[in-house]
A and B are shown apart, each in its own frame.
Chain A
Amino acid sequence: MPAPGIAGRGALTVALSFYTVYAVGPMIWLAMMSLRTTQEINLDHYGLPQVLHWWKFQAAWVNSNYGTYFWNSVWVVVASVTAVTLIGAMAAYCLARYRFPGNRAVLLAIFSSIILPPQITIISLFQVMVEYRLFNTLTGLILVYIGTQLPLTVYLLESFFSRIPQDLFDAAKIDGCSDLEMFRRIGVPIGAPAIVTTVILNFILLWNEFLYAVVLITDDGNRTLPLGIQKFIGDQFSDIGMVATGAMISIVPVILLYFVFSERIIQGMTAGAIK
């Protein structure tokens, strides 16, 4: 791109600064509020924290039950991501490596469900969960999450596995590897970067998931973080300081993950979008 003139460059700088403030301003504001008490916020909504009230995080964690919501979220997300990664990787590997009638049809069917609106399944999933006594349980939510993330996982991993050269597998076969061993000793290690990408992507998507959780979980003790925050707004809307603290508790893990794995997250998202 050519360097625009001085005037153009100035205008561009101003526009981009504005955009940056617009993009991250709300989050920085939220972070500041999370360290200020509600009284302080009510006096000046846009003030800087004078004293850093770190105790608010402990208060949110203990008194407002965010500790429970946090660990529920951790358990649900870790369990479903682990399961969907394993199940999805096996299916993707099989669809990428083996030739059999119906191969393409299965692949197409699984990843065409990426486009499904959740409403088409959610009403009957609700019925199924009630019938099998999984309604209002974290196990039920985990099962549903495995189902929702399976298409994306298979989609991303299949394209990666199909690029592993066949020679590697042929060599392993000569060495007497069984099919399952080939998956474990060649597919998984070589596919590791793609697997890590799907793990992180699924983690973020499920960590933020709201619709299935709000339908399938009603018991306070089983709420995940997004539900916990929403309930807190409903209960005590005036306590904005505490709402901000709770919101920060849910943001921090994702932001940390992003700082460590930003390249992988971007790879996963762009691979899902353009192919």
Chain B
Amino acid sequence: MRWRRSASAAPWGTIACFLAPALTIYVALTIYPILRTIYNSFLQIRPRGREAFVGWENYAVLFADPTFWRSAAHTVLWAIVAPVVDVAVGLLLALCLYAAIPFSRFFRVAWFAPVLISYVVVAIMWSWIYNFDWGLVNLGLAAFGLEDWRRTWLGDPNFALAALIVVDVWKWTGFNMIVCLAALHALPREVMEAAELDNCGWMAKLYYVAVPMIGSTLIGLLVLGFIGKMKVFDLVWIMTRGGPLWSTETVSTYVYKRAFDWNTFDLGYPSAIATVWFAVILACVIAATAYGRRRPQLEY
């Protein structure tokens, strides 16, 4: 950790005044809930405060719960596929903007716009696009003579998850593009110019110059994307509710269902799922950070 020489000492009273509101909020609305959820995971909690200590039973049930494993598999798949596509496409778009194609200002705004739209609206638009009778996807397939390929995209267990991931990618690519673009602009101009003098081709320049130089940003984006997708909820909940036949169930929607949507009214079991998932994400982040530390930083 860097330690700033510029910082000055201050009386504890002042520090307490500045920090008290934030720490109160932090402890009351983050630390305490985390601990309580972990504690809850050892209980069975029925309405009107009827609680019973069940030890590791929730965890035992969890490990034998096929729906949990399916939802975990879907979530992990999503968390790996979506960030890779987001970052790859985002990088390509950023390179186009960096090369100052005509109308780049317009393109930058247009490509970024989906990031700003709420999941609810995104979900509505795309469930229309996937509509069987008049959705753009099926109309497009029919226009190319591929009537047989038409599907109820969100109603078909084989395609629903992929359809949702496409929507997620649509929403987030612009974000990755903007971050890549910022990273490219932060590179010293000479590097790219030198590559230009050496008559590097587009692909070569992409592969040997741009990608390694903004490598840490790309990895950062992948990690950020991974963490984000491990929490994915809104899109699934509004578009498919985890259906059909659990084919789009994610850990978040499953927790939500078990806690608030089914009439089991048990908060203990979903707490166990949340706790396990928290541990999984934490482990992934720690592993990614350790890996990031080990990699030598590219100097420029």
| Chain A interface (Cβ < 8 Å from any Cβ of B) | 1-2, 4, 12, 16, 19-20, 22-24, 26-27, 29-30, 45-46, 86-88, 90-91, 93-100, 104, 106, 109-110, 113, 115-128, 143-144, 146-148, 150, 154, 162, 165-166, 169-170, 179-180, 183, 204, 207-208, 210-211, 214-215, 225-226, 229-230, 233, 240, 243-244, 247, 250-251, 254-255, 258, 262, 265-266, 269-270, 273-274
Contacts and interface: CB of A to CB of B under 8 A. Distances in A.
Contacts of B114: 23-24, 27
B77 interface: no
B242 interface: no
Nearest to B6: A166
A210 to B, nearest CB: 4
Given A1-B99, A124-B33, A154 B274 contact: no
B285 A154 contact: no
Interface string B3-23: 110111111101101110111
B42 interface: no
A115 B234 contact: no
A27 to B, nearest CB: 6
Contacts of A208: 117-120
Interface of A is mostly: helix
Contacts of B200: 2
Contacts of A143: 25, 29
A270 B178 contact: yes
Contacts of A148: 29
Contacts, number: 274
Contacts of A225: 118
Contacts of B30: 113, 116, 121, 147, 150
30 contacts: A1-B99, A1-B192, A1-B202, A19-B93, A20-B111, A23-B113, A26-B125, A87-B22, A87-B25, A95-B19, A97-B10, A99-B7, A100-B12, A110-B26, A117-B252, A119-B231, A119-B256, A119-B270, A119-B277, A120-B277, A122-B259, A123-B274, A127-B36, A211-B234, A214-B237, A226-B119, A244-B124, A251-B118, A269-B179, A274-B217
B91 interface: no
Interface residues of B, number: 99
A120 B179 contact: no
B26 A150 contact: yes
B238 interface: yes
Residue from B30, B125, B170, B217 whose CB has the most chain A CB atoms within 10 Å: B30
Contacts of B260: 126, 215
Residue from B99, B100, B117, B270 whose CB has the most chain A CB atoms within 10 Å: B117
B76 to A, nearest CB: 13
Contacts of A110: 22, 26
A172 to B, nearest CB: 11
A274 B12 contact: no
Given A123-B37, A210-B234, A243 B17 contact: no
Contacts of A230: 120, 238
B267 interface: yes
Nearest to A148: B29
B33 A88 contact: no
Given A123-B274, A143-B25, A273-B179, 7 more contacts: A16-B101, A24-B114, A119-B273, A127-B40, A166-B6, A247-B120, A273-B220
Interface stretch (B126-134, B141-149, B155-163, B291-299): B126-134
Interface string B93-121: 10110111100000101111111111111
Contacts of A119: 231, 251-252, 255-256, 270, 273-274, 277-278
Nearest to B220: A274
